[in-house]
Amino acid sequence: MIEVEDVYFRYPNGVEALKGVSLTIKNGEFVAIMGQNGAGKTTLVKHFNGLLKPTKGRVLVDEAETTKVSVATLARKVGFVFQNPDHQLFCETAEEEIAFALKNFGFKETIIKRRVQWALNLLGLTQYKKISPFMLSGGERKRVALASVLAWNPKILILDEPTIGQDYQQKEKLRQFILQMKTQRKTVIIVTHDVEFVAECNPRVVLMREGKIVADGEAKEILTNEEVLTQASIVPPQIAQIFMQMPSLQLPKNIIDVYEAREILLKMLRSDAK
Amino acid sequence: MPVIETKNLTYTYPGGTKPSISDVSIKIKKGEFALITGPSGCGKTTLCRCFNGLIPHFYQGELKGEIKVTGLNILENPIYEMAKHVGLVFQNPENQLFALSVEKDVAFGLENLGVPREEIRKRVNWTLNLTGIYDLRERAPHELSGGQQQRVAIASILAMQPEVMVLDEPTSFLDPLSAKKIFKVIYELNKKLGITVVLVEHRLDLTARYADHIIVMDDGKVVLDGEPREILSSEEARLIGIGIPKATRLYHILKKDGVKLSNTVPLSSDEMANLLKEALKVHD
Ligand SMILES: Nc1ncnc2c1ncn2[C@@H]1O[C@H](COP(=O)(O)OP(=O)(O)O)[C@@H](O)[C@H]1O
Ligand SMILES: Nc1ncnc2c1ncn2[C@@H]1O[C@H](COP(=O)(O)OP(=O)(O)O)[C@@H](O)[C@H]1O
Ligand SMILES: [Mg+2]
Ligand SMILES: [Mg+2]
């Protein structure tokens, strides 16, 4: 469980990136943190694995305050995949990259081998195992970074902008993968502004603006609330936009899924034909 | 005459075991807004690097086939010559910015072209405003966020007003509302100034509505090439797994259910809402 209690954070250059954030994320929850560029999303999630410590307020991971546990202990529990994979990759080959953290955590050689293979396979990277991550395309590098974190099986997984540079199929795989993590009772937190991806995943959505949380609730509710979305520089998903443009029909407001939209429209169109 | 024309273009990076693009034959007309999409790793960036001569002049490797951009043979023209005609916004903006300030970065290309000082100032201010970074003009590019850097990279290219603008996933770091505004700016310049636009994008929900032409690549090859409404309705596009706009998907699902909707396939929520209003005879 992650508990954020009235957290303020100021960078050394004086920028106040968090201005009183409170939030509880329970074990096994799937949360999307959304909001405009510079809203403080990355700053917030860096508090979850102790990379940043609050200037004021407290962050607790499984009831331990992040200022009081070692970064290594936290890292084992909280896997973090950075927004820019280049800040995370440094080994000669994809395979070594994935093995690196496992070695650091002291896993046995045989287990390391197995975990590396498993992670390469899961993310469709097996063909690149002997290739330098820097020879790969941006999307492929991002997957190497994800594989290297998944390999040590952290309990909480944080993905900062995981869909950037990913194509539709990879996003679909990512979605399947997150759902799988959910069934294993893992906590998954994604930072993203990919509205269509969130609409398909249907997580809890936390919306940020200028260092504060401005909305928190089900994806269906938040992604169809045009007023708060505009504040956070987010565009509603296309299905929601279509429904918003037909106010006189008094359609249900919280529709973001194509198939749900279809059911409702079919009823209307058919009764209209009669 | 096409602004970009390739015939059987095939390219292998130095040390590569197989070509990253193979047998690419495409034509992009003057003034067109062309969208290139396809699974990641399929060769989109590699193809863009051919459009301004980075391939083969910078990357070397083995290039086969023919390519002409703005009538110039890439093989015979060095990068600095191509840069006068083709502006490329890189997928990773960090690799593009190098000056000490945003303003200088945006002015750099114009100075190189020998544009008069007064004109440079005018154009730099114009493009800084268009991309929403006027307030950042004295900041150092490497201190900015990814989204801000992307705006700077786009501004640098817009300032040049090149004949062809090639934009490789140019807004991936921007939040949706900002991305939407930038695409609109690019579209307006395409229409007003007749600048040919080649845009690489996965997010077709934000961009398909602007395109005259879509090229879909898969595994180094061009697999679909044509009119957006047609391509995005095709079974092949769905199977390759490109992100068909939800409005287009909904239209086809309803059609399959036997609903009568006009035959113009929608590419945006506005278009789809209008079709539905027509079918339901509502006036909102
Ligand atoms: N290392 C840093 N030093 C100084 N300021 C920073 C740093 N990282 C981010 N900021 C600033 O903090 C604010 C929040 O940034 P960030 O958390 O990265 O936002 P988001 O992830 O929502 O785009 C922004 O104003 C940004 O410019
Ligand atoms: N600089 C490079 N050196 C060697 N191989 C590369 C380089 N850049 C890309 N590739 C390879 O070329 C293929 C196509 O990559 P790229 O053009 O970046 O695809 P896309 O832009 O569609 O994601 C990939 O398999 C990638 O690994
Ligand atoms: Mg961020
Ligand atoms: Mg690319």
B74 and B115 in a single domain? The answer is yes
Confidence of residue B38 (pLDDT cuts 50, 70, 90): very high
B84 and B188 in a single domain? The answer is yes
Burial (CB < 10 A; 0-12, 13-18, 19+), residue A81, is: buried
How much is the average pLDDT of A74-79? Answer: 90
Say how far apart CA B265 and CA B230 lie, in whole Å. Answer: 8
pLDDT value, residue B212 = 96
Structural domain contains residue B238: no
Q: What is the mean pLDDT of chain A?
A: 90
Q: Tokens 């009669």 map to which residue?
A: A274
Q: List, for residues B152-197, the tens digit of each pLDDT value.
A: 999 999 999 999 999 999 998 898 899 999 999 999 999 999 999 9
Say how far apart CA B277 and CA B284 lie, in whole Å. Answer: 8
Rg (CA), chain A: 20
Listed residue (B42, B123, B117, B60) closest to B87, CA to CA: B123
Structural domain contains residue B175: yes
How much is the average pLDDT of A27-48? Answer: 94
Confidence of residue A118 (pLDDT cuts 50, 70, 90): very high
CATH number of B162's domain: 3.40.50.300
Amino acid at residue number B117: R
Pocket probe for ligand 2: among B13, B90, B95, the residue whose CB has the most ligand atoms within 8 Å is: B13
- Does pLDDT of B5 surpass 80? yes
The residues that bridge with A197 in the sheet, in sequence order, are none
> Model's pTM, two decimal places?
0.88
- Range of the structural domain that residue B13 is part of: 4-228
Q: Is the CB of A39 under 6 A from ligand 1?
A: yes
Structural domain contains residue B240: no
B29 and B170 in a single domain? The answer is yes
B138 and B266 in a single domain? The answer is no
Structural domain contains residue B62: yes
B222 and B260 in a single domain? The answer is no
B157 and B182 in a single domain? The answer is yes
Confidence of residue B97 (pLDDT cuts 50, 70, 90): confident
Helix, strand, coil distribution of chain A in percent, nearest 5: 45, 20, 35
Say how far apart CA A49 and CA B251 lie, in whole Å. Answer: 44
B278 and B165 in a single domain? The answer is no
Confidence of residue A45 (pLDDT cuts 50, 70, 90): very high
Q: List, for residues B206-264, the tens digit of each pLDDT value.
A: 999 999 999 999 999 999 999 999 999 998 998 888 889 999 999 999 999 988 888 89
E strands present in chain A? 2-10, 16-25, 30-35, 56-61, 64-65, 78-81, 156-160, 187-191, 204-209, 212-218
B147 and B194 in a single domain? The answer is yes
Question: Domain limits of chain A?
Answer: 2-77+155-236, 89-153
Tokens matching residue B207: 């961009």
Domain count, chain B: 2
Quote the ligand 1 centre to A67 CA distance (angstroms). Answer: 21
B97 and B129 in a single domain? The answer is yes
B216 and B253 in a single domain? The answer is no
B59 and B126 in a single domain? The answer is yes
pLDDT value, residue A274 = 53
Quote the ligand 2 centre to B61 CA distance (angstroms). Answer: 13
Tokens matching residue A86: 């280049």
The domain defined by A2-77+155-236 carries CATH number 3.40.630.10: no
pLDDT value, residue A273 = 58
Tokens matching residue A21: 């954030």
Give the pairing of strands B221-226 and B213-218. antiparallel
* Neighboring chain A residues of B175 at a CB cutoff of 8 Å: 35-37, 193, 232-234
Question: Does ipTM exceed 0.90?
Answer: no
pLDDT value, residue A29 = 95
- Does pLDDT of A272 surpass 70? no
The proportion of chain A whose per-residue pLDDT surpasses 90, expressed as a percent, equals 60
